[in-house]
């Protein structure tokens, strides 16, 4: 157990300043949390629209980062790794352009990637849980459950393709926004009462 006298003064001071700032701006955190919850609920209600929005957003992010990368690569063309940097930037421009030109196909591709991620994450989490079980950890079953849930999500997404592409990305983004917003609301209300 850590006691206040065990915390180095700089960290204690930093924690105190952080608490003071959160308390001073609790209304901003509350507002942001409410907005995130509302956006998350909207994404969960209309997941195809949210999936399209995420795909278009990622398309613009790739395109802008690729164009910036091309500019910086040209500007610093005498540095080592010029051709790799140029290739990377051009690849980002191409990916962004494809996502923006064909967002429906982009949604399908992103859904496949998300399904593969949940599959890999599930296997890794289950292996991690089994490793904890060998070490006699008391909470390994929660890790095992998390890994099994990841595998279940992956199976639902992959088995439902191409139809799951309409809802998977939007629903997952919506759930993430609701959970993030709820945590901000909770933090703001706790800071207000302290």
CA-to-CA dists, residue 150 to 22, 78, 161, 168, 174, angstroms: 34, 46, 17, 13, 17
125 neighbors 146 (Cβ within 8 angstroms): yes
**Cα 58 versus chain centre, distance:** 12
171 neighbors 43 (Cβ within 8 angstroms): yes
Q: Where are the beta strands (DSSP E) in 51-184?
A: none
Average pLDDT, the chain: 88
Q: Where are the beta strands (DSSP E) in 31-127?
A: none
Q: pLDDT tens for residues 1-16?
A: 555 555 555 777 887 7
pLDDT at 122 over 70: yes
Residue 190 vs residue 171, higher pLDDT:
171
pLDDT (0 to 100) of residue 46 = 95
Q: Where are the beta strands (DSSP E) in the chain?
A: none
- Name the least confident of 6-15, 17-26, 158-167: 6-15
pTM for the predicted model, two decimal places: 0.73
Interhelix angle 82-101/47-75, rounded to 10 degrees, is: 150
118 neighbors 151 (Cβ within 8 angstroms): yes
- φ, ψ of residue 80 to 5 degrees: the values are -60, 150
178 neighbors 57 (Cβ within 8 angstroms): no
Q: pLDDT tens for residues 42-99?
A: 999 999 999 999 999 999 999 999 999 999 999 988 888 888 889 999 999 999 999 9
């Amino acid at each position: 157990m850590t006691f206040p006298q065990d915390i180095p003064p700089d960290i204690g001071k930093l924690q105190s300043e952080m608490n003071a700032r959160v308390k001073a701006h609790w209304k901003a955190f509350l507002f942001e949390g409410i907005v995130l919850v509302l956006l998350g609920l909207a994404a969960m209600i209309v997941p195809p629209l949210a999936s399209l929005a995420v795909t278009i957003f990622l398309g613009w992010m790739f395109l802008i980062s690729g164009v910036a990368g091309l500019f910086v690569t040209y500007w610093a063309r005498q540095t080592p790794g010029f051709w790799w940097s140029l290739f990377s930037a051009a690849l980002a421009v191409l990916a962004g352009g494809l996502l923006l030109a064909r967002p429906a196909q982009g949604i399908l591709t992103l859904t496949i990637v998300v399904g593969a991620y949940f599959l890999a994450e599930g296997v890794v989490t289950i292996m991690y849980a089994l490793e904890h079980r060998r070490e006699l950890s008391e909470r390994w079953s929660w890790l095992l459950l998390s890994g099994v849930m990841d595998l279940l999500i992956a199976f639902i997404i992959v088995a439902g393709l191409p139809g799951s592409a309409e809802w998977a990305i939007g629903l997952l983004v919506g759930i993430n926004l609701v959970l993030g917003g709820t945590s901000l609301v909770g933090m703001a209300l706790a800071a207000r009462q302290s």
